[in-house]
A and B are shown apart, each in its own frame.
Chain A
Amino acid sequence: MSETATEQVLTTKDGRPLKASLARALRREKLRALVLIAPLLIFVLLTFVAPIADMLFRSVENSIVEDTLPQTVNALQDWDPSSGQVPGEPVFAALAADLKVAVDLKTHTRLGSRLNYEKTGISSLFRKTGRRVKKMTEPPYKEQFLKADKKWGQVDTWQTLKQFSPRYTDGYFLSSLDAERTAEGLQMKSEDEQIYLLLFGRTLMLSIAITVSCLLLGYPIAFLLAQLPLRTSNLLMILVLLPFWTSLLVRTSAWKVLLQQQGVINDFLVWIGLISDANRLVMINNQTGTIIAMTHILLPFMILPLYSVMKTISPTYVRAAKSLGATDWTAFWRVYFPQSVPGIGAGAVLVFILAIGYYITPELVGGTSGIFISNRIAYHISSSLNWGLAAALGTLLLAAVMILFIVYDKIVGIDNVKLG
C-alpha cells in the first residue's frame, strides 16, 4: 500500500515532487509580492505604527527617576515609608552625589517637573536644592538638605520619590481614571479634582448624539440624492460637497457668527418676535454649539457612504413590493431600508470615530460644557507638557473605540459595512 503511494507521487520533469515544487513557486511568488509592498510596509511601520507605539509606551514609562537619581533609588529600597521616619544619612549622601551629576546635566529640573505632577511643590524643591547642592561638600548631608529646604524633612516627599522609583508606573492611568495611590492604597481623587471620567462620559454621549443627528439629517438627503435623476442629484451633490471642501476653521467660525447671542439667528428670532431681546437663546459655547457645529462638519461623512450604498439598491425591488400590494411605507421599511443598513453602518462608524477624537471644533464652540477628552489631551501635550498623562488618556480613548468597534461587530457585524 505504502509502496504504491510513493510511486504515485507526481513529479516535475527534473524529478522533484510536484507538491514541493508548487510550494516553492508559491513561496517565491509571496516573496516577490512582499518585496513589492515592502516600501509601503516599511513606511507604515516607521511613520505610523512606531510613533503610536512609542507614544502609548509613554503612558507607563517612568525611567526618569532611576536615570536621574540611580544611587538614591538604590539606597531608598531599604526605607519603609510606613515607619513615619525620614530616611537616614546614607540616602541623603546618595542624593547629594546624584544631584551633583544631575545639576551638571540639568536633568534635575526635568525630574522636578515630572514629580510635580504627583505632588505640588516638588518642582521648586529640586530647583532650589539644585542651586544649593554644589556648595555641599562635607558629610553629613542630611542637615544641609534640611537647611536647604524643609520639605526634605517631610515623609511624603520621600514617599512620592519612592513610589515613583520603579521604571514603570500605573500612575498616569490612575490619574486618567481620577484615581491615585496613597499611603492607604488605591483611592479616588478628591471630588474637586475629578474630571476625566466626566469628560470620557461626555465625549461618548456627545459623539453618539452627533452620530444620531447626522443620521437623521443625512438619511433623507442621501435617499433624495439616490432617487433624483442624475442631473438634479449632481447639483444637490455639489451642495453637499462644497461645505465639505471648505476649511474646517471657516465653517466653525461661521457657526460662531450665526449662533452667538448677538448673532444672525438670534437677531432674526427677535425681529420676528419669537423671543424677547432680553432672552436671547444661548446656542454656542456649550453642548448645543458643539452638537450643531460638529453635525454640520461631519454630515458629508454620513451622506457619502449612505448615497453610494443607496445608489446600488435596484428600484425594481421596491416596485415589485408595491405591485404585490405593499404600501409606500411597507415597501420602504421592509424592502428598501434593510438594504441601506450597510450604508448606515459605514456612515455611523465613520462619523462616530471622527467625532470621538475631534478637538478643534469643541475648543472653539464648546465653551466649558461642550469640550471633549481630546481637548485635555491636546492641553497636556502642548501646554502642561504632561505627555505621560496625555498618552494614558489617548490609550484609554483608543481602547474605548476598539471595545465599541467589537460591540458593533457583534451586534451589526462589520462585514455589513459597505463604503461603496
Chain B
Amino acid sequence: MKLKSTILAGTAVALLGSSAFAADMTIVSWGGAYSASQNNAYHKPYMEMNPDVNIINDESSAEAVAKLRAMNEAGNITWDLVDVVASDAIRLCDEGLALEINPDTDLAAAPDGTPASEDFGDLLVSECFIPQIVYSTTFGYRSDVAEWNGKEPDDICAVFDLETFPGKRSLEKRPINNLEWALLCDGVAKEDVYDVLETEEGLDRALAKLDTIKDQVIWWSAGAETPQLLADKEVVIGSTYNGRLFALIEEQKQPVKMLWDAQVFDLDGWIVPAGLPDDRKAAVMEYVKFATDTQRLADQAKYISYGPARASSAPLVGKHADLGIDMAPHMPTDPNNAKNTFLYNYEWWADYRDDLDAKFQAWLAK
C-alpha cells in the first residue's frame, strides 16, 4: 500500500513537474556558425523572456524536405519550426507540408508601423515562407598565389581561366550554379542563360566549358569544405556561401579575398510544419513573431555576414559581436558587393533538376 501511494505520488509530481517546467520547442536549422548566430540572436533572448519555453536545436535542415515528408506519412510531426532555403519552402508549401502564413497578422510590423508584408516585400516568395536572411554563393580566392604574378581575379570568368590563374578550384558537386556560371563565361547573356540551358546544345556547351577545368576541380558537397581547402592551400579559388568565407577571412585571418562577381543570391527562412497540435502551433507562432521582428533580424547580422531579410533591419546592422568590425560592407546585399549579381531561377530548376542532375553526375563520373 505504501509502495503504491509512493509511486502514485511520484507520478503526480513528475506530471506536475513536466507541465510546470519548460515546454520543448524543436527548431531545425543548418548547424555551425549559422545556428550559433540564431542561437545568440533569437533563442537565448527568447528563452530568457519565456522561462517556460525550452528550445532544442536540431541540425537537419539539409534533409528537411525528406524528413518532413516522412513525418507527414507517419502522422507524427516532431519539429516545431524549420529553417529552409526558398526553393525547399516553395516545394513544402506546394505539397501542403508547411503552414500558410499571413505576414500582417502573424509577423511583427516594423518599428515605424510598416506592415510586415511591405517590409519583407519581394522576399516573401511563398505563402508559407518567413524569410530571415539573404545569402549568396560566391567565390573566395587566395591572395598569396605566387603563380598569379600579382594579378587578382575581378570577374567570375577567372575561374575558367587556367592560364592567368593556374591552380585547383573547388566547385559544388551539383549542376545548380555551376552550369549558369559556365554559360555566363561562354558568352551567354545573363537573361538568356536558362533559355540556352533548356536546349540539348546549351547543356553540352555548359559542360564543354566545365570540361576545360574539370581536371583541376575538387568537388564539394558541404559548405565547410571550400574554406578548409582554401586554408590548406589545396585550392586557389572556390565557391561556397559568403558567410563561411567571412569567417575564414575575418575570424581566422586567412589570406583569402572575396570575389563577389556573379554571386548567386538565395534566401533562407522559417517554415512551420503543417499538422502541429494547436498548443504547439500557438507557441511556435509566438516565437516566430519575436524572432523575425526588425531588431532580431538586425541582431543576427552581428554574428554572421548574411543580410537581414527586412528592409527596416538594414539600417540597424551594426558591428560584429566579438570582432567589433562593421558588418554592413560584408553583406552580400551591400551595393559595393552587389554590382553584378545573378538570381537563380527556382521554378526552372524545379523542372530540370532531375534531368540535369542525372546528366551532370554522368558527366562527373566520366
Report A's interface with B, CB cutoff 8 A: 105-107, 109-110, 113, 116-117, 120-124, 127, 192-195, 198-199, 260-263, 285, 363, 367-369, 376, 381-386
Set of chain B residues within 8 Å of A124, measured between Cβ atoms: 347, 350-351
Interface of B, helix, strand, loop or mixed by DSSP: helix
Q: Identify which of residues 338-359 in chain B touch chain A, using a CB-to-CB cut-off of 8 Å.
A: 347, 350-355, 357-359
Inter-chain contacts of B63 with A (CB < 8 A): 382
Q: Which residues from B are CB-within-8-Å of A262?
A: 232-234
CB distance from B354 to the nearest CB of A (A): 5
- The reply to whether A376 and B96 form a contact with Cβ atoms under 8 Å apart is no
Asked if residues A382 and B66 are in contact (CB atoms below 8 Å), the reply is yes
* Shortest distance between the CB of B326 and any CB in chain A (Å): 33
* Of A195, A260, A376, A381, the contact of B66 (CB 8 Å cutoff): A381
Contacts of A192 in B (CB 8 A): 359, 362-363
List the B side residues contacting A376 at CB < 8 Å. Answer: 361
Does B365 contact A109, Cβ atoms closer than 8 Å? no
B192-207 Cβ-contact flags toward A at 8 Å (1 or 0): 0000000000000000
CB pair A260–B234 under 8 Å, yes or no, is yes
Q: Which residues of B contact A369 (CB under 8 A)?
A: 365
By a CB distance below 8 angstroms, the chain B residues around A194 are 362
CB pair B352–A368 under 8 Å, yes or no, is no
**Are A260 and B353 in touch, CB under 8 angstroms?**
no
Contact between A260 and B95, CB atoms less than 8 A apart: no
Q: Which B residues form the contact surface with A (CB < 8 A)?
A: 62-63, 65-66, 69, 91, 94-96, 168, 173, 218-219, 221, 232-234, 347, 350-355, 357-359, 361-365
List, in ascending order, chain A residues with CB within 8 A of B168's CB: 261
Which of A121, A195, A263, A385 has a CB less than 8 Å from the CB of B351? A121
Q: Are A109 and B95 in contact (CB under 8 A)?
A: yes
- CB pair A368 B351 closer than 8 Å: no
The 3 closest A-B pairs by CB, nearest first: A106-B96, A109-B94, A120-B355
Cα distance, A115 to B218, chains bound together (Å): 33
Residue from A107, A195, A261 within 8 A of B362 (CB atoms): A195
Cα of A300 to Cα of B218 in the assembled complex, Å: 30
Given A116-B350, A199-B365, A382-B62, 13 more A-B residue pairs with CB atoms under 8 Å apart are: A110-B95, A121-B352, A124-B347, A124-B351, A192-B363, A261-B234, A367-B218, A368-B173, A368-B365, A369-B365, A382-B63, A384-B353, A384-B357
Q: Are A285 and B218 in contact (CB under 8 A)?
A: yes
**Distance (Å) between the CB of B32 and the closest chain A CB?**
15
A131–B91 alpha-carbon span in the complex (Å): 15
Q: Which residues on the A side are within 8 Å of B62 (C-beta)?
A: 382
Q: How many angstroms from the CA of A368 to the CA of B309 in the assembled complex?
A: 36
Please indicate the chain B residues that have their CB under 8 angstroms from the CB of A382 in the complex: 62-63, 66
6 residue pairs from A and B, CB less than 8 Å apart: A120-B354, A192-B359, A368-B173, A368-B219, A384-B357, A385-B65
Q: With the chains together, A23 CA to B50 CA distance in Å? A: 68
**Pair A127/B94 contact, Cβ less than 8 Å:** yes
- Distance in angstroms between the alpha carbons of A127 and B365 in the assembled complex: 33
Alpha-carbon distance A368/B215, docked complex (angstroms)? 11
Considering the chains assembled together, what is the distance between the CA atoms of A261 and B235 in angstroms?
10
CA distance A127 to B90 in the complex (A): 11
Contact call A198/B359, Cβ cutoff below 8 A: no
Do B234 and A385 have beta carbons less than 8 Å apart?
A: no
B364, A363: Cβ atoms closer than 8 Å:
no
With both chains docked as a complex, state the minimum distance between the C-beta of A171 and any C-beta of chain B, in angstroms.
Answer: 13
Shortest Cβ distance from A386 into B: residue: B354
Q: Are A116 and B358 in contact (CB under 8 A)?
A: no
Q: Distance in Å from the Cβ of A115 to the closest Cβ of chain B?
A: 10
Chain A contacts for B361, CB-based, 8 A = 195, 376
Measured CB to CB, the nearest residue on chain A to B347 is: A124
Contacts of B355 in A (CB 8 A): 120
Chain A residues near B69 (CB-CB < 8 A)? 385
Q: Which residue of B is nearest A381, CB measured? A: B66
**Complex contact A116–B173 (CB within 8 A):** no
B233 touches A195 (CB 8 A): no
Could you tell me the distance between the alpha carbons of A377 and B177 in the complex, rounded to whole angstroms?
23
Are the C-beta atoms of A368 and B364 separated by less than 8 Å? yes
- Looking at the assembled complex, report how far the CB atom of B176 sits from the nearest CB atom of chain A, in whole angstroms: 11
Q: A110-B95, A124-B347, A124-B350 are in contact. Are A195 and B232 (CB under 8 A)?
A: no
When chains A and B are docked, how far (Å) is the Cα of A56 from the Cα of B350? 26
Residues of A within 8 A of B347 (CB): 124
B232 nearest CB neighbor, chain A only = A262
Shortest CB-to-CB span from B96 to chain A, Å, is 3
Asked whether, in the complex, the Cβ of A198 is within 8 Å of the Cβ of B219, the reply is no
**Chain B positions within 8 Å of A263 at CB level:** 232
Nearest Cβ in chain B — how far from A349, in angstroms? 28
CA distance A121 to B349 in the complex (A): 10
Q: Which residues of B contact A105 (CB under 8 A)?
A: 96
Most central of A107, A122, A383 by chain B CB within 10 Å: A383
Measured CA separation A260–B225 after assembly (Å) = 13
**A262 CB to nearest chain B CB (Å):** 5
Q: Contact: B234 with A123, CB < 8 Å? A: no
Report whether B219 and A193 are in contact in the complex, using a CB–CB cutoff of 8 Å.
Answer: no
Residues of B within 8 A of A383 (CB): 66
Residue of B nearest to A109 (CB): B94
What are the residues of chain A within 8 A of B91 when measuring CB–CB? 109, 113
A106–B94 CB distance below 8 A? yes
Given contacts A106-B95, A382-B62, A382-B66, contact A193 B362 (CB under 8 A): yes
Q: B205 CB to closest chain A CB, in angstroms?
A: 13
Inter-subunit contact B365/A120 (CB<8 Å): no
Contact B351 A120 (CB under 8 A): yes
Distance of B216 from chain A, by nearest CB (Å): 11
Name the residue on B nearest A385 (C-beta): B66
